[in-house]
Each structure stands twice: as structure tokens, then as C-alpha cells.
Amino acid sequence: MDTDKIIRTICFFESKPSQLTVTKLSTIEKILTESNYMVQTKRLCTQSKDIKELEKTVNDSSLYLSVGSLTLDEAVSQMADFLTAGNTSFNIDLTSEKITLRFTYLLFQIIKEDPGKTFLFTFVFNNRPSTPYFPSAAYEKNGYAIGLQPTNLSYDCRTLEEWLDKMKAAWSEIYDLFYKDPEFLGIDSSIAPILEVKGSLVKFVNRLGYSFSSSVTTDIYLKITNFLKENNPKPTGLCGLMFPCLEDSALAREYEKGNFSIERNIYLSLHSGLGIDTYPVGTDEDQNRVLDILRLVQGLSNKYRKPLSVRFVSDGKAKIREKTNFQNEFLQDVVIRPV
């Protein structure tokens, strides 16, 4: 199997999930595996807003689950269920909300009671439905979406154009496999980096001869995102560039050196990215500072009609200037800086 051809996730969106939904996911996985793709995760997002009911209905620990977008009141009323659930995600849509400290209280409650769950929760703004990437996923209609881990395809590429051509070939191949299926919603062509060298976007940029800091003021990220939008044969979801601070190990090191401040993150998100993602927050961070960030991202998202999200993560112990211990295979440990 070509280990560079990686499907990060297959996500089925189902209003009333059942065992049949799980079977369909396995069938899709089999088709992709037989076409030489490695499938990392299978996911299910439902129209239901009931965390406990979803876990009871599906009852499959191999699946990542999501109830999509909840209101603040819905989230508060189900917090106990969320904290005791398995891999179940949700998000809160703040596009039109008056953002107050009630929202930051929720985040810091999760940090206090079960910090690992911060990985499964995000705030979203002008979100786009049917993305297979969690926790931003939100149900719109029944069907399935596919998202890749396309950074791995860049490993042997000497130019940006070579990598883009490889991505396009993968999208075309996947489209040809499923385009006749009426339940196929499409491909989310987002760039989703991951820890190791092959999966790191920053490492690829370095191989092209740029430092991360110098790359920020080039048009390389604009070229990538333009390509994502113009060449995807059946786009669905976000189709943007992710800068997950702690999921890309090279980006995490840039963060520790002070090269990935919250301001730089927001700047990159505005022209090419999808928001603030897996960004570490100290347990002693001022909640008013977090509130300011949420209000700013809301304003920018609405001004430019651009989908953005904010996912802060914490290990529940590390304060500002202390090193984290996430015990999460997807998150790089870092010394936390003030937001």
C-alpha cells in the first residue's frame, strides 16, 4: 500500500444513524483501501443534538462521533454527557451571537473537569456544513464526505506545483470511485497537517527553501488555497488551509520560538486559513483575553464572510510558561505562551 495516499477521514452525515450507517462507512473504506489508500478514521455526524442518545445508538468505539452545532444552552445542559462520552465532538456557532464570558466559562469548565475534551470542541463562525473534519463538522443533509491528509503527498516533491498536481490526481481518483453514488457529498480538499515529517506543512515549506517566518509574507499559501478551490472536482465543506498549532510538530516548534503568535495565526487565517486550531491556552490565562479573541474572529469572519473557527486546547495543568503534558498522540507538547 502507498502510505502517502492517506484518507484522514470518511464522514457519514445521517439524520437518524443506525447500524446500516456503520456498514456503509465500512463499504466506503473497503473501496478506498482496494484503491491503495490508507484510511485513518471513520466518522459519523448526526442531525440529533443528543450526545447520550447518539452514543447509545451507534455504540462503536472505533468511530468518531459528532452532534454538530449546539447552542450554548444545549451544550451546558449536556456537559455531563459530553464529559463522560467517548470520541464525541460538538461545536458552538458564534456567527450571530453576542459573545459574553458565558462562552469562555464553558471552555474553562471543560479545561477544569476534563481537559482532554478541549480537543473535541471548537467555536465556529460562518461555518460550512458537510466538512468531514471534526469538531467543525455540521449536518446539512444525508450523505458522506471524504477528507485527505494531503501533506504526505508532498514528501518527495521538489516544487509546490508538483505537490498540487499530486493532490489533483488524488481528488480525481476518489471522484471517479464515487461520483455515481447519490450519497457522495464530495471531497473536502482542506490541507490537514499532522505531526510527523511527511505530514507537516511547515516541513514542506522548509524543503522548498523558506523559513516559516519568511513564508508568511510570500504568496505560497494563497497559491495553495486558490488551487484547492479551483481544482476540486466535487468540493464540500471547508476546502481551506489548516494551521493546527500543535498537530503539526514543526509549527509547534515555531510557536515555542514565538514565530506563531495568535496575531500571525489570525493573519494567515484571514487570507488562506480556517482559524485558530489546537492553540494552547494556559490554565491561568485571563478569560477576558480569550473573550477578546472570540469577538475579533467573529468580526473578521463576518466582515469577510469567511469560515473561521477557534479551538483552544489545554492539558488542565500547565500554566503560562509551563510545559504541557497532553498525553494525546495528535498533539505536540510545548511551553505555553500567553495568548
Per-residue pLDDT of 221-265, as tens digits, reads 999 999 999 999 999 999 999 999 999 999 999 999 999 999 999
d(CA 235, CA 88): 25
Q: Taking 80 as the threshold, does the pLDDT of residue 197 lie above it?
A: no
pLDDT in the model for residue 60:
86
End-to-end CA distance of the chain: 42
pLDDT in the model for residue 59:
82
The pair phi, psi for residue 324, each rounded to 5°, is: -75, 165
Share of the chain above pLDDT 90, in %: 93
Please state whether the peptide bond connecting residue 135 to the residue before it is cis, i.e. omega within 30 degrees of 0. Answer: yes
Q: How does strand 6-14 pair with strand 143-148?
A: antiparallel
- Alpha carbons within 13 angstroms on the beta-carbon side of residue 20 total 6
| Residue of 329 and 3 predicted with greater confidence | 329
d(CA 268, CA 26): 36
Rounded mean pLDDT, 72-94: 96
Burial 131-154 (b: 16+ CB within 10 A, else e): bbbbbbbbbeebbbbbbbbbbbbb
CB atoms within 10 A of CB 59: 11
d(CA 173, CA 180): 13
- To the nearest whole number, what is the mean pLDDT of the chain? 95
pLDDT in the model for residue 99:
98
Residue 144, C-alpha cell as written in the block: 458522506
Q: Taking 80 as the threshold, does the pLDDT of residue 1 lie above it?
A: no
- Packing angle of the helix pair 220-231, 160-178 (nearest 10 deg): 20
pLDDT in the model for residue 198:
87
d(CA 145, CA 12): 7
Q: Does the domain at residues 6-313 carry the CATH identifier 3.20.70.20?
A: yes
Residue 96, C-alpha cell as written in the block: 450571530
pLDDT digits (tens, 9 = 90+) for 114-126: 999 999 999 999 9
| Domain boundaries along the sequence of the chain | 6-313
Q: Taking 90 as the threshold, does the pLDDT of residue 177 lie above it?
A: yes
Rounded mean pLDDT, 6-29: 95
Q: pLDDT grade, residue 49 (50/70/90)?
A: very high
Rounded mean pLDDT, 133-149: 97
Rounded mean pLDDT, 208-222: 97
pLDDT digits (tens, 9 = 90+) for 53-81: 999 999 888 899 999 999 999 999 999 99
Q: Taking 50 as the threshold, does the pLDDT of residue 98 lie above it?
A: yes
**Residue positions counted in the chain:** 339
Please name every residue paired with 93 in a beta bridge, in sequence order, or none if there are none.
124
Give the alpha-carbon dihedral of 251, 86, 91, 143, to 10 degrees.
Answer: 100
